[in-house]
Structure 1
Amino acid sequence: MELYFLGTGAGMPSKQRNVTSIALNLLDERGTYWLFDCGEGTQQQILNSPVKLGRTEMLFISHLHGDHLYGLPGLLSSRSYLGGDTPLTLYGPPGLKRFVETALEVSGAHLTYSLNIVEIDQEGVIFEDPSFIVETARLEHRIECFGFRIIEKDQPGKLMHDKLAALGIPAGPVYGQLKQGLTVQLEDGRTLHGADYLGAPIPGRIVVILGDTRYCQGAEYLARGADVLVHEATFAMDKQELAYSFDHATSHDAAKIARDAGAGALILTHISSRYQGDAVTELLQEAQQLHANSYVAKDFWNFEIPRKAFLNEM
């Protein structure tokens, strides 16, 4: 599991940063990518990245401002041209369905895959399957805006092969059944309970990706205990009043959320074009004063999210 940043700028593209889009690489977990926001030019950014549009399974739109949305019609059409034929689900605020259907109808686009659009009308769980849960909450922005909490469910612990071998049980189908936590009746009459032969569960990872927001309780709620928090940092601290008036956050605001919520790594994105080159260091230093494990994202940068079990062994 890793985050890949396709666009990290705010408002409009600059020479250093395209507008917002983030890919969550789940190739190892489910063979797919999930995308978060789709600003203008996202499909061009994908062409210069390892992200495979045809293997994108879901796309989450935090809000309907252009720098998070205007790349969507082109991306949907290109997915067909690139051979994408598996279903794609879009999640986003009310109005997303009308925007997409109008753009496709007016342009005469024809999709070669099934497109499902889910408009988010309340907070809470919007997706769940045996492996993942996605929870959303409202943020404070000029229009309806959501953040997303991606929860990987805990995985069964490692099967105790040595313990089974000591009982004279050879590797085979029984091992697979026990790995699933099932109870197995052996031919010799012995009964084995899967839970007795599994190590401690492997904790799942939690990734939180927020849309545009100023400091708010919704952001802190979603960020609680996250392994990684991706938070906008449009401005530095000296622009606090400006940030608040436009419903945006400073690097200090983002770091305070990460600290108070007990998040692991903090990644700052949605950077104003006024911060070019070394000026970005100011944002990072301000965040690190409150939350040492902070980073500033840049286009085509990836951040790997190891499992907690691996972290504990390091």
Structure 2
Amino acid sequence: MELTFLGTSAGVPTRHRNVTALALQPEQVRPWILVDCGEGTQHRLLRCPLSVAKLGLILITHLHGDHCYGLPGLLASRAMTTLAREHQSLTLIGPKGLKAMLEAIMHYSQLSLNFPLEIIELPDHGGEYHWHNHGIKAIPLKHNITSFAYCIREPAFPGPFDKSLTMADGIPEGPLYGRLKNRETLTLDDGRTVSGATYCLPDTPGRTIIIGGDNEEPKLLQPYLQDCDLLVHEATYTETVYQQLAINVQHSTAAQVAQTCSDTPIPNLILTHFSPRYQTIKGSSANSRSLDEVEQEARHFFTGMLFLANDFDTFLLGRTKKLSLCKPQR
């Protein structure tokens, strides 16, 4: 399971970061998932191996512009792409108002799509859906607009067929093995009824990740982190900066997110959606703060695997649930 960050800045783009978008490539299906689609997302995709033609699902966390203003352009470009039959349909899930917003843009800009688009608007309490055998659960968050986190759970990996078990039971190698590998129940020539599942090793559990939208209270996710392998969450500010803000912006600090995770068994955390005041390079402008401050604050509470995402970083979450940075930013 690969995650590629297409935008990691909060609110506005910077020289080093675009606004929010995250691509998820599941291991067990060919279509990929896009979580949020800030302005300029399709430009970022031009620098990645991901094909917009194979995009199968878009999850919008909330309707603030830095999370969805790139959506109309992306859909328009997809409509101008030659699509294979198995990749034609596209599902879009997001908060109420998403459909009206897109329909207005399509109407007034005369945009027509040459592929089936299913738009699912979430009730305020969220909901559960299935996509290519993957479970998709929308979890309500707290922000100054309706906002969700998405819990994505992949199916288990079937255990491999163990030929030594069939041979021990006196089942000779032959055409029956193919059917037993498919876990069929068969009646043998000697009258025995056998189940293919008996000759397969245990399944490997699938991975579960949670990708959050803007959120003032990370603790809302705590019940869902008990059996989660990776959390991707905003850390817009450090506590020092947050306490100095003149208004309540309803975002999370690195400390809040890390402390929430520290109270659960979750092993992996990726922080993103950083305020433009934190620069990638320390001292890159006279008024900037270093992103090191965000990392140090998070590490004070969270002792698991921690990363701060940069644009174009690609992370691999392996079947063993180990998280690694396989393609750093370019």
Q: TM-score range by the shorter chain?
A: over 0.9
Query: Aligned equivalents of 2:178 and 2:257: distance in 1?
Result: 45
1:126-165 Cα offsets, whole Å, 9 max, x none, are 3125631011111010000000000112232221112223
Secondary structure of the residue aligned to 2:315 is strand
TM-score of the superposition, structure 1-length normalised?
0.92
Q: For 1:135-146, list aligned pairs within 5 A.
A: 135-146=137-148
Q: Distance in 2 between matches of 1:135 and 1:243?
A: 35
Distance of 1:310 and 1:176 partners within structure 2: 32
Which runs of no fewer than 5 residues in structure 2 stay unpaired? 283-289, 324-330
Question: 1:18: how far off?
Answer: 0.1
Which ranges in structure 1 are unaligned for 5 or more consecutive residues? none
How far apart, in 1, do the equivalents of 2:193 and 2:216 lie?
A: 57
Distance (whole Å) between structure 1 residues aligned to residue 178 and residue 292 of structure 2:
51
Q: How many residues align?
A: 310
Paired residue type of 1:144 = T
1:106-255 matches, within 5 Å, as: 106-123=108-125, 125-128=127-130, 131-171=133-173, 173-241=175-243, 242=245, 245-255=248-258
> What residue identity is the alignment partner of 2:71?
L
2:64 pairs with 1:65: yes
Task: Report SS of the residue matched to 2:37.
Answer: coil
CA distance in 1, matches of 2:246, 2:81: 40
Distance 1:157 1:229 in 2: 27
1:122: Cα distance to partner?
A: 4.2
Q: Distance in 2 between matches of 1:243 and 1:236?
A: 15
CA distance in 2, matches of 1:51, 1:129: 19
SS of alignment partner, residue 101 of structure 1: helix
1:288 aligns with 2:299: yes
**Residue from 293, 299, 302 that aligns with 2:311:** 299
Runs (4 or more) in structure 1 with deviation over 6 Å come to none
CA contact (8 A) 1:136 1:222 kept: no
SS, match of residue 22 in structure 2: strand
Q: Paired residue for 2:287? A: none
- In the TM superposition, what is the alpha-carbon distance from 1:266 to its structure 2 partner? 0.4
Q: What are the Cα deviations for residues 41-90 of structure 1, in whole angstroms up to 9, with x where unaligned? A: 00001111111111000000000000001000000000111223610010
Structure 1 pair 123/153, CA: closer, same or farther in 2 (3 Å)? Answer: farther
2:326 match? none
Instruction: Give secondary structure in 2 for the equivalent of 1:91.
Output: strand
TM-score by length of 2: 0.88
8 Å contact kept, 2:126–2:148 = no
* Structure 2 residue 262 is the aligned partner of structure 1 residue 263: no
Please state whether the residue corresponding to 1:195 is helix, strand or coil: helix
In percent, how many aligned pairs have the same letter? 39
1:63 partner SS: coil
Cα offset, 1:29, TM superposition:
1.0
Q: Partners in 2 of 1:149 and 1:183 — Cα distance?
A: 35
TM-align CA RMSD: 2.0
Show the counterpart of 1:9: 9
CA 1:270–1:100: 2 relative to 1, 3 Å: same
Deviation at 1:230, TM superposition (A): 0.2
TM-superposition CA deviations, 1:159-189 (whole Å, max 9, x none): 1112223445355553343334332112232
Q: Partner residue of 1:84?
A: 83
- One-letter amino acid of the counterpart of residue 133, structure 1: G
8 Å contact 1:61–1:92 — kept in the other structure? yes
Distance 2:321 2:226 in 1: 19
Stretch of structure 1 that moved more, 37-46 or 83-92: 83-92
